[in-house]
Amino acid sequence: MSCLASLQQQFFASLFNGLAIGSIYALIALGLTMVYGILNLINFAHGEIFMIGAFAALGVLSALGVSASSSGLGITLAIAAAALAAMAASGAAAMLLEVVAYRPLRRRGAPRHAAMISGLGCSVAIQETFALAFGRGNLPYPSVFPLKTLLVVESGRITSRMVLIMICTLGMMILLDRVVMHTRLGRGIRALAQDPVAAGLMGVNISRAILVTFLIGGLCAGLGGVLYGIYFSKTSYMLGFIPGLKGLTAAILGGVGNLPGAVLGGLLLGLMENLGGACLPGQLKDVVGFGALLLVLVFRPQGLLGERLARRT
């Protein structure tokens, strides 16, 4: 079957899957782009923050013992509890990471590559800790959320899990926009992203603003972790590696430091992967997204919507 015929046959299936997976990438990219926007630093341990959220949700769902055959109220409460646990665990881990791995180096005026190496070290340490605790194989997620087809469009179907992912992602994005754009804390974060020196002179608590930024990024990653686990019904100690790279790719595609760009980049990456996968073998699916990243870096390195980086003096 030719590429065009295969794409035409699988277009709607790839479209719906791409939007669902791209929404998870967008959640990961939001945390990465916020940190980079204020510190000019790539947090290489952000994928592990995502993984911690998936494990925290797995623990809650296993403890509650809810299944897909339970009542609707029971399933809703179980998923809400798992999401809150995932966000709390990832948010706490992100703040601890900032305090332990990045703040001491920042206060000593260490170069950026030292902080990046510190993040890589924390990433490996977290992975191996979870591998020792839970093993190196995939852990199945409880089938707590029933997989129901809500709408069929030719070859594609919109499932209940896709709708859950999109609703949660949209809600988190709206909440994040309200916090960043319409609160005093958000104004401090935006001031820090525009000019750290001026923000400090105007009374912004730099350390607290950075800590809150890591917290927000952790909350987004934790929500992404539980949604990923529910969608793919598995997790592992290596869960954060590939999605972390995809989140970084999405942030660069949209424009580093640009929150709408992170969302756009995540959705585009999910769509490109799934639409490209209709023409390529499954093992080459990732080539499409990373190939698009290469083209963006060559022809538009500032990203599709442009960079918004902190000014360093």
Per the model's pLDDT, the better-predicted residue between 300 and 178 turns out to be: 178
pLDDT given for residue 19 in this prediction: 92
Helix axes 241-254, 259-277, angle to 10 degrees: 120
> Mean pLDDT in the chain?
86
CB atoms closer than 10 angstroms to residue 196: 21
pLDDT band at 313 (very low <50, low <70, confident <90, very high): very low
Q: Tell me how far apart the alpha carbons of residues 202 and 209 are, in angstroms, rounded to a whole number.
A: 13
Interval 230-287: pLDDT, tens: 999 899 999 999 899 899 889 888 887 778 888 888 999 998 888 877 777 666 777 8
Percent above pLDDT 70 for the chain? 92
Beta strands 234-235; 139-140: pairing state: antiparallel
User: Which residue matches tokens 């791409």?
Assistant: 18
pLDDT band at 194 (very low <50, low <70, confident <90, very high): confident
pLDDT band at 116 (very low <50, low <70, confident <90, very high): confident
With a cut of 70, say whether residue 309 has pLDDT above it. Answer: no
Interval 63-114: pLDDT, tens: 888 776 677 788 889 899 999 999 999 999 999 999 999 999 988 888 888 9
Q: What pTM was estimated for this model as a whole?
A: 0.91
CB 270 within 8 A of CB 18: yes
Q: Tell me how far apart the alpha carbons of residues 188 and 306 are, in angstroms, rounded to a whole number.
A: 22
Q: What is the mean predicted confidence (pLDDT) over 195-207? A: 82
